[in-house]
Structure 1
């Protein structure tokens, strides 16, 4: 289902007076009117992977809270597809936590994407080298995804 940005940000800040910064990212579906992006996943496996990722981000950056919403199924152009939020005492940790979460989601989360153009033609979306390059900056010995 779709999500409301202000509701999600408020939930990250709720009842924690030590949160001084909330950084969030919302991704939308690119495409022409009439096109769709269909996301598939393995129920259970995907959620566990994302929960592990959130736990790692909280530990690594000292976040007070983090949340990921990733929609599945068919989505039209300009619809919200993903939301990542990170709350911390200071902005630096919140920004880093949010970027870390997105970089890992783009490359490691078990999602498969198929684009359908307005004319009905389809193709699977391939991984992008630029996403892999972005992930490399977070790699440290012992990183386990």
Structure 2
């Protein structure tokens, strides 16, 4: 499952989606909106994406992960639009027979997502806003 959505991400639904009888591990990465960056108070985040390309890039990343690790199932969901403090901006769930593969695959997916997927983040502060590069 790969999805770009403006709706609240239901993490428990993604965990249920990746459950497999052969899974000995489910690893979940949840990226949330924090309330500060470099000492400045963050009010909210605003994400934009070129959705058709973002989905294609996410699929390429997932395909590479499946080639490298024994992944039974995966779910990658990223929000667009306003994401309030404490809310999930991105959730990645991966099930594998063994925990090491689940951890490594999840880390790979989030790292590659930030490098290549056309999703942009705007941090909104009390005194303005700034577009943020994923890997400056």
**TM-score for the superposition, normalised by structure 1:** 0.80
Aligned residues: 126
Give the structure 2 partner of residue 135 of structure 1.
none
Q: How much is the aligned-residue C-alpha RMSD, in angstroms?
A: 1.6
**TM-score for the superposition, normalised by structure 2:** 0.85
After TM superposition, give the deviation of residue 107 of structure 1 in Å: 1.7
After TM superposition, give the deviation of residue 26 of structure 1 in Å: 0.4
Give the structure 1 partner of residue 10 of structure 2.
4
Q: Encode CA deviations 1:83-125: one digit per residue, 9 max, x unaligned.
A: 0111101111111111110111122211111111123x11111
Which of residues 45, 48, 59 in structure 2 aligns to 1:40?
48
After TM superposition, give the deviation of residue 78 of structure 1 in Å: 1.5
Kindly indicate whether the alpha-carbon contact (under 8 Å) linking 1:54 and 1:67 is maintained by their aligned counterparts in 2.
Answer: no
Which of residues 118, 133, 136 in structure 2 aligns to 1:126?
133
Give the structure 1 partner of residue 3 of structure 2.
none
Higher-Rg member (1/2):
1
In structure 2, runs of 5+ residues without a counterpart are 1-6
Give the number of the structure with larger relative contact order, counting CA–CA contacts within 8 Å between residues 6 or more apart.
Answer: 2
After TM superposition, give the deviation of residue 54 of structure 1 in Å: 0.9
